[in-house]
Amino acid sequence: MPDARTRETDPGPRARVPGSWWLALAAGFLVVATLVYAPSFAGGPISDDVMYLLNPWVVGLEPGSLGTLFDPRSQATLSLNNYAPVRAIVHGLQWRLFYDETAIPATNLAYHLTNVVAHVGASVLLALLLAQTGLPFAAASAGALFFLLHPANVEAVAWLCELWTPLALAFGIAALLAQRRRPTLALALFAAALLTKPQVVCVLPVALIRQWAWRREDAAERPGWIWMAGWLAVFVAITGAELVTFFESASGARDPLHPDPVVQARTIAALAGRYVAMAVTGFGVGSFQRPPPAISWLDPWWLAGLASALAIAALALQALRDGREEAAWWAWGPAAFLPVSQVFPFLYPFGDRYLYFMLPGLIGAVLLAGWRTRALRRVPRGVWLAIAALVFVGFAVSGHQRAGVWISEDHVLADAARRWPDGVPAHLLGARRAAQAGDADAAIAHLEVCRAAGWDYYDHLLQHPAFAPIRSTRRFQDLIRAFAGDLIERSSRTRRKTQLDLRDVAEAHRRRGEIAEALATLDEAIALGGPIDAEVRRSADALRARLRQTTP
């Protein structure tokens, strides 16, 4: 039985909410989300969308090829850079159901609506989970609406390939909802979540702490630990497969945020501070973000991150000591931050979409802590309604504006350049402007900054019309050869290559004038086999013809 202190601080069970209320909430959420995200609906594939949505193993998905997506060492899995077979299956279904080359606007709309529906689903499930803790329907709905409208979530919903983010969270929250009464279903949902996106592993410590908190309520909860062992086994198996994919496909992590490990640690804390500030206020959102490292001990973001970590740890430990389920919610945010904390560095170390998995925990923790604070409960309801209205309207307007950014890649780059004028997107746009003006030296200087930061999409330079005025210059061609050399060097450290990788390496050799090496790589791709056999064979035949023409 719970002790007196727990009874006083936990919300406790409440009257059952009619199912019609939840249906009305879901319908309302769908209408609101559709209005907020409407500006993005005409947008097509942007950046990583090409890799994930138009991947040949995805668009060519057949029932007989599903098994390759569950093999962590298969070409299909390696080409997608993550062990996330559910994501690939869903994108394959989208292609079959929606894609119509003669009706691209309708295709784009269908893809976007899928993301919106997944986001609404995750939001409604969050409301149900908050209500399951004992919070009243109004508080649970308000918390879920805060999540639904939060402007940082726009990136995870308006960016087409990010479908795996709301979908994985929906599976994860559903697993927590089923954890106590339907443990078999909960285990299956947790597995589905991990097979959709690895970051959703954050629900595992949440489930474990909830199980621990329930131990005081009823001795019958003890068998729940057997199911928790099942969750751990699923985690080990799927995470093991993810690690196999990472080490087989990756050439290694990028350079750390800073060579000094102390600065690196401060910068990680600073990123945490930025996420907390973004979660609370909705400000600081942006595309392709690359904040500077926390060089100084007085860096305000590092200090904010440290203070936030100490406060969350203290509140979590207090709740844990008292046996309150609130502890699980305080642990949720840090658990979601850890995989994206830059222990394994990314090109863009800070992203709005990464907050998507942290935000539910922070919302639930604050609501539960506020509910047990008597002074806050004495505040008149009208005051809370006024505050909520201001927040929700502000979030809706901001989210509507952010959705318009995801209409094209140029809009996204311009947004990123405004947020970070010294970042890679800003230099890329600067290179475009210089190239259009015929200033090859300035364009190359901008592009060298991008290259030094790890940006390596040199195909963009060969295809975008802005670079046409300088494309034939020697300095530009030298830069392309340098980019190609980077790709070849990086590929040499990749343990297992796909047919797509070999095609790209062959093209890099061709760009460098290394025709024999390019042909040998294409022959390797033909021997490996895959969905682009015809394309690779045509390229190989063209190179052989070129060699015959140049050989005396």
For residues 91 and 52, is the Cβ–Cβ distance under 8 A?
Answer: yes
* SS3 sequence of 138-181: HHHHHHHHHHHHCHHHHHHHHCHHHHHHHHHHHHHHHHHHHCCC
Task: Report pLDDT for 222.
Answer: 65
Residue 5 — very low, low, confident or very high, per pLDDT cuts 50/70/90?
very low
Task: Report pLDDT for 530.
Answer: 93
Averaged pLDDT score across all residues of the chain: 92
Q: What is the dihedral of CA 118, 123, 124, 127, to 10 degrees?
A: 160
**328-349: average pLDDT:** 92
244/83 Cα distance (integer angstroms): 9
* Domains in the chain: boundaries: 32-409
**73-81: average pLDDT:** 94
**Range name among 8-12, 152-156, 465-469 with the lowest pLDDT average:** 8-12
DSSP state of 340: G
492/486 Cα distance (integer angstroms): 10
> Across the strands, what pairs with 350?
289
Q: How far from 95 is each of 71, 77, 107, 314, CA to CA, in Å?
A: 22, 18, 9, 48
Residue 456 — very low, low, confident or very high, per pLDDT cuts 50/70/90?
confident
**262-271: average pLDDT:** 96
**75-99: average pLDDT:** 95
For residues 3 and 323, is the Cβ–Cβ distance under 8 A?
Answer: yes
Residue 219 — very low, low, confident or very high, per pLDDT cuts 50/70/90?
low
Terminal-to-terminal C-alpha distance of the chain? 91
- pLDDT at residue 248 greater than cutoff 80: yes
Residue 238 — very low, low, confident or very high, per pLDDT cuts 50/70/90?
very high
For residues 166 and 122, is the Cβ–Cβ distance under 8 A?
Answer: yes
Task: Report pLDDT for 217.
Answer: 64
* Chain segment 99-156, per-residue pLDDT in tens: 998 999 999 999 999 999 999 999 999 999 999 999 999 999 999 999 999 999 999 9
- pLDDT at residue 427 greater than cutoff 60: yes
> Across the strands, what pairs with 289?
350
- pLDDT at residue 473 greater than cutoff 50: yes
* pTM score: 0.93
- pLDDT at residue 546 greater than cutoff 50: yes
252/250 Cα distance (integer angstroms): 5
Task: Report pLDDT for 12.
Answer: 53
- pLDDT at residue 288 greater than cutoff 70: yes
427/454 Cα distance (integer angstroms): 13
**312-326: average pLDDT:** 94
331/206 Cα distance (integer angstroms): 7
Task: Report pLDDT for 551.
Answer: 67
Task: Report pLDDT for 443.
Answer: 97
**How much of the chain, in percent, has pLDDT values that exceed 70?**
95
- pLDDT at residue 454 greater than cutoff 80: yes
Task: Report pLDDT for 39.
Answer: 98
Q: What is the dihedral of CA 341, 345, 347, 350, to 10 degrees?
A: 10
**Range name among 56-60, 68-72, 379-383 with the lowest pLDDT average:** 379-383
**75-98: average pLDDT:** 95
8/428 Cα distance (integer angstroms): 57
Which amino acid is located at 450 in the chain?
Answer: C
**Range name among 16-20, 187-191, 221-225, 389-393 with the lowest pLDDT average:** 221-225
**515-531: average pLDDT:** 95
Q: Which of 319, 303, 361, 381 has the alpha carbon at shortest distance from 146?
A: 361
**501-520: average pLDDT:** 95
* Chain segment 61-75, per-residue pLDDT in tens: 888 889 999 999 999
